[in-house]
Amino acid sequence: MTPQFWLWLGCAGMAAGAAAILLLAKRRTPTEEADGIIHGIVPIIAACSYFAMATGQGSITLPAGPDAADVARQFYVARYIDWTFTTPLLLVGLARTAMHSGMRRQAVVWGLVGSDLIMIVTALAFGLSEVAAVKWTWFAISCGAFLAVFYGIFVQLREENAAERADVRKAFLRNAVFLTGVWCAYPVVLLVGQDGLGLLSPAVALAVVALLDLTAKVAYGIMATMETTRAVDRDLAEGTAAAKPLRRAA
């Protein structure tokens, strides 16, 4: 299948996923409303990114290298713009799950978002670099920032999550393992794809990234939205503080 097929599939899948999440998300409480918006807007941004790439507006052509066998390659800038907005939103949503009863440690969330942005920007520099020493230095820095994100999730957020009731702790762990498990595949694809070692063809690399994106943004978004609904169902049944109804205009 051609690269264009995977780009249009990504666009259509993200649009359909956004609609599904927004329809599934309930708005009985501020928690449900906020989480529904967060997880609904992520695939909307991604759909715009895939539309830009599919129509030729989201990529640039980088020159061939000094080797005669080298050919020019398409570099998808829109992908990194997408990740700059969507991955912080996903982390904020995960932090809200971890601290379901109240966002207690804002600094941890800012640290997560900051580390994530460093990871994305340095991955962009890696993809744009032509000098091998510079390219792989950027890749190493990006991986280091990725490890900082892992630390924030599985150490700092989990410390806060320990104060929550058992069902919220389980929901957070499921969400964290699912999301980070998918995210672990991205640096591998960048490493072996056209921007790295060039072991994958452009079509295969696009296919893998599109499927990873749909999993991380749509499948995970649906999963996280349903986890929030289950937690709020229990809040409402027990009359906890988190179950405060959403105020609506008269």
Cα separation of 204 and 89, whole Å? 27
User: What pLDDT is recorded for position 5?
Assistant: 94
- Integer-rounded Cα radius of gyration of the chain: 19
pLDDT at 250 over 70: no
pLDDT at 195 over 50: yes
For residue 236, being part of any structural domain is answered with: yes
For residue 216, being part of any structural domain is answered with: yes
For residue 250, being part of any structural domain is answered with: no
For residue 249, being part of any structural domain is answered with: no
For residue 92, being part of any structural domain is answered with: yes
Closest C-alpha among 221, 229, 228 to residue 44 = 221
pLDDT at 93 over 90: yes
Which tens digits make up the pLDDT trace of 138-161?
999 999 999 999 999 999 999 999
| Domain assignment of residue 214, given as a range | 3-243
Q: Structurally, how many domains does the chain consist of?
A: 1
Lowest mean pLDDT, pick from 25-29, 37-41, 62-66, 222-226: 62-66
Query: What letter would DSSP give residue 72?
Result: -
For residue 248, being part of any structural domain is answered with: no
Section 19-46 average pLDDT: 94
CATH number (domain holding residue 205):
1.20.1070.10
pLDDT at 66 over 70: no
pLDDT at 59 over 60: yes
Average pLDDT, the chain: 91
